[in-house]
Structure 1
Amino acid sequence: MSFVLVVLVWCVLFVVAWPLALLAIFLLPLLWLLSLPFRAVAVVLEALLAFIKAVLFLPARLLGYRG
């Protein structure tokens, strides 16, 4: 559903301001490629924080706390 909405918005933009729509078509894939390293860093940081949380709560889980 989201893709259909994006296509419809792009079609309206193409009718209203076609140079801006063409610029968006070429720039959005480049922006997506530039954001990939930041997404990878976010995944690694999320995993690291989950690991730290697991290590910190390990003594309580070993003693039988079920939270």
Structure 2
Amino acid sequence: MRLFTGLVLWAILFVLCWPIALLLLLLYPLIWLLLLPFRLLGFGVTLTLSMIFALFLLPFSLMR
């Protein structure tokens, strides 16, 4: 569903302003590579916080 939404939004942009749509299509891999470290950092932070949360809840789950 997310892919379809992106495709529809890109098609609307292509109809309204095709040079920007083509530029976005060409620059998308570069933008994806630039944002990749932030995705990995977010994954690491989420994993760390979920592990800390599980450690705090461990005594309660052992009492059950």
21 and 59 in structure 1: CA distance in 2 versus 1, 3 angstrom threshold: same
Q: Deviations over 1:11-62 (max 9, x none)?
A: 4544443321221112222111111111101111111011101110111112
Structure 2 counterparts to residues 1-67 of structure 1, below 5 A: 1-64=1-64
Count matched residues.
64
Letter in 2 for 1:50: S
Unaligned ranges ≥5, structure 2: none
Give the TM-score of the pair, scaled to structure 2.
0.71
Letter in 2 for 1:32: W
Question: Alpha carbon RMSD of aligned pairs, Å?
Answer: 2.0
Unaligned ranges ≥5, structure 1: none
Q: Could you say what secondary structure the match of 1:59 adopts?
A: helix
- Which of the pair has more CA radius of gyration? 1
43 and 17 in structure 1: CA distance in 2 versus 1, 3 angstrom threshold: same
* Structure with the largest fraction of helix: 2
Q: Could you say what secondary structure the match of 2:43 adopts?
A: helix
